[in-house]
Amino acid sequence: GNSVTQMEGPVTLSEEAFLTINCTYTATGYPSLFWYVQYPGEGLQLLLKATKADDKGSNKGFEATYRKETTSFHLEKGSVQVSDSAVYFCALSDRGNTPLVFGKGTRLSVIA
């Protein structure tokens, strides 16, 4: 079945540090890939997505590239801010009516 594995947290970084959160997936076919972010006390919201191999999703300075050869969709940001502190979820959709499959989430804390 489909699955998503993302790096365990928590991750603590200083402001302006470089961020990488690893995500790998297992899926049949060609899934769409997503990163969702959950700020404290809130629901999840879409951060970025990519629908085919080599696509790069980007938003708010975050980027992730769909790598079919390594089945990965790592999230990166060049310079994190305190306001980026949140839990980040990697997810995949197999394009059918089946629900999104989420990773376990990675908590990021950015300190000034």
Partner 1 sequence: SQTIHQWPATLVQPVGSPLSLECTVEGTSNPNLYWYRQAAGRGLQLLFYSVGIGQISSEVPQNLSASRPQDRQFILSSKKLLLSDSGFYLCAWIAAPNEKLFFGSGTQLSVL
Q: Is 111 in the site for partner 1 (CB under 8 A)?
A: no
Residue matched to tokens 């197999």: 94
CA distance 5 to 21: 11
User: Contact between 43 and partner 1 (CB under 8 A)?
Assistant: yes
- Binds partner 1 by CB under 8 A, chosen from 44, 63, 71, 85: 44
**Segment near partner 1 (CB under 8 A), from 19-27, 60-68, 70-78, 102-110?**
102-110
Pick the closest to residue 27 from 89, 62, 73, 75 (CA basis): 73
DSSP state letter for 18: -
How far apart are CB 97 and partner 1 at their closest, in Å? 6
Q: What share of the chain is helix, strand, coil (3-state, %, to 5)?
A: 5, 50, 45
Nearer to partner 1, 32 or 108 (CB): 32
What's the min distance (Å) between Cβ of 68 and partner 1? Answer: 17
Binder among 51, 58, 71, 72 for partner 1 (CB under 8 A): 51
Count the neighbouring beta carbons within 10 Å of the beta carbon of residue 58.
14
57 lies in the site for partner 1, by CB under 8 A: no
